[in-house]
Amino acid sequence: MNASEELYQEVILDHSRHPRRYGCPLEHTHCAAGKNPLCGDEYQVYLTIDEEGIVRDASFEGAGCAISKASASLMMEQLIGKHEEEIRELFEAFHAMVTDPDAQKKADSLGKLAAFSGIWKYPSRVKCAILCWHAVRNALDGHAVATTEA
């Protein structure tokens, strides 16, 4: 497997072609936009969080590269049933995995998200992988827009 195939492995291609939890729900409690002005990627993320702080529904929509779309799709699958605080921890773990080669061991605990464990080798693409994650964190913080160029 060469570098391109390692990056664009089947799970990433699958989720970019057929994103899960895709679309705008009728109702939500939190939402935010994720924008990368350098490449034009633009997404919206929607969360429904109950009184206990548990995510009951999560979805996204928008346009961008395979990496950003697959990352959003795989993330959405993992958010359901998690507490806000667990999501913040997941953000930190994912962020560490995609930016720090020494954080590879943590990849095992991230399930399918481990597909992105090699992306630290592509510094210009880390922003794509993390874009919707920032949007979700901003939604939790009550901010409307996350940008990679802040």
CB 108 within 8 A of CB 47: no
Name the residue nearer to another protein (CB basis): 2 or 52.
2
CB 13 within 8 A of CB 6: no
54 binds another protein (CB under 8 A): no
Going residue by residue from 65 to 104, which x/- string records binding to another protein, judged by CB under 8 A?
xxx-------------------------------------
The helix (run of H) or strand (run of E) holding residue 18 is none
CB 41 within 8 A of CB 35: yes
Per CB under 8 A, which region of 24-32, 39-47, 104-112, 134-142 contacts another protein?
A: 39-47
147 burial type by CB count under 10 A (0-12 exposed, 13-18 middle, 19+ buried): middle
The single-letter code of the amino acid at 122 is: Y
Q: By CB under 8 A, what part of segment 10-29 binds another protein?
A: 13, 17
Name the residue nearer to another protein (CB basis): 126 or 140.
126
Which residues contact another protein (rule: CB under 8 A)? 2-5, 7-8, 13, 17, 38-42, 63-67, 122, 124-125, 128
